[in-house]
Structure 1
C-alpha cells in the first residue's frame, strides 16, 4: 500500500471510539466522534495553501485529504469539533515514506511537518516532533471498513498519553476497485 491508496481507502464517514490513558495521572478517558474524510486534488486551493505555508513546491505533493470531526468526551460530555487538511510529500528516493503536512490553525505556531512511512505489514506510521512534543501514531486497516490507530504522545515537560482508536466506516465508500484492491492487500 502507498500513501495515495491509504488516503483513498480512508475516504468516507467513520464512527470513531478512542480510549486514552494518561500515564502520569493513571487516568483513562473515552471519546466518540463522527469523522468525515474527503480526498482533495493536490491543486485544491487548501492543499496549495498548505504547501506554501511549509515552503514546499505544491507540485511535490502526491495527495491530500480534509478531515472533519465532531464528537464528545465521555467523562464530562465536552463537545469537540474541527477540521484539518493533510498533504503528503513523498521522499524522492523512497516513495513509501515522506513528509506529511498538517494545517496549523494557531498563527503563533510554526508549522512542523510530520514524517510518514509504511511498515512491512502495510501500516502507516506517522511521527511528529517539535520543541515540546513527540508523537507517533500507527494506523492500519483490519478490513476496508475497519481502521485501527494506536498513538503515543510524550511531552518534554514530563507527561505521556497513549491511546487506542477503532474506526468503523459508516458511509461514503471508496471506489469499489480501490476498496477491493486494498482489501486484498489487507488480507494478505
Structure 2
C-alpha cells in the first residue's frame, strides 16, 4: 500500500465506535459516531490558508480532506455534536510514505497540530504530534477496505500515558438494488 491509496481508502462515510480510557481520572468513554471524510481541492482557500499559517508551501500538499463527525451516544447518554476538521498531508519529496500532517479543527480559536507521519510496509499509518507539553501517537490501519482500526495514546512530557483510545470504523456502503428492481430497470432501458 502507498500513501495515496491509504488516503483514498479513508474517503467516504463511516460508522465509528470509540472507547477511551482516561487513566488519571479513572474515566471511561464510549462514543458512537458517523464520520464523513471528503476530499478537498488543493486550491481550496482553507487548505491554502492552513498551509501558509504553518509556514508550508501549499503546492507541496496532497490529497487534503475534511472530516465531519457527528457523535451520537456516550455511555447511554445522548450527546449530539458535530465537529469538523481539515487534514492536509504534506509528503516528503523523496519518499511520500513519510511527511507532515497538518490537522486543523474548523472551530473558532482552534489550535493547529502539525505531526510527522509514516506509512509502514505493512500499511500501518502512524502520526506523532506534539503540542506544548503533550505528545499524541496514533496508529491507523485497514483490516479490510471497509474496516479501519485506530489506536492512540496521549502522553504528557512529565508523565506516563494518561489517555488511550481504540476506534473501529465500518464503511457505510450504499445498498444494492434488489434483484427484481435491477431486472425491471434493465428491461426498461432495453425498451428505449
With normalisation by structure 1, the TM-score equals 0.83
State the match for 1:115 in structure 2: 116
Matched, 1:99 2:100: yes
Matched, 1:15 2:23: no
CA distance in 2, matches of 1:80, 1:151: 21
- Compute the displacement of 1:95 (Å): 1.9
Q: Distance in 1 between matches of 2:113 and 2:25?
A: 28
Q: Find the aligned partners of 2:14 and 2:163 in 1 and give their Cα distance.
A: 23
The normalised TM-score by structure 2 is 0.81
What SS does structure 2 have at the residue aligned with 1:112? Answer: strand
Mark the CA change 1:64 to 1:30 in structure 2 (over 3 Å): closer, same or farther: same
Give structure 1 regions of 4+ aligned residues with deviation exceeding 3 angstroms: 104-109, 156-159
**CA root-mean-square deviation:** 1.9
Whether 1:140 aligns to 2:126 is: no
Instruction: Deviation per CA, 1:70-122: give whole Å up to 9, x if none.
Output: 0132254333321111111111232211000111445374x331111012311
Q: Tell me how far apart the structure 2 counterparts of residues 168 and 112 of structure 1 sit (CA, whole Å).
A: 26
User: In structure 2, what is the Cα distance between the partners aligned to 1:143 and 1:121?
Assistant: 13
Residue of structure 2 in register with 1:52 after alignment: 52
- Bigger relative CO (Cα 8 Å, ≥ 6 apart): 1
SS of the equivalent of 2:48 reads helix
Q: What is the aligned length?
A: 171
Partner of 1:37: 37
Aligned-pair distance for 1:126?
Answer: 0.8
**Structure 1 runs not aligned, ≥5 long:** 173-188
Select the structure of larger CA radius of gyration: 2
Closer, same or farther in 2 for the Cα pair 1:171/1:157, shift >3 Å?
Answer: farther
What residue is the counterpart of 1:165 in the other structure? 167
Q: Per-residue displacement from partner, 1:33-53 (whole Å, max 9, x unpaired)?
A: 000001112222221121111
CA distance in 2, matches of 1:4, 1:75: 38
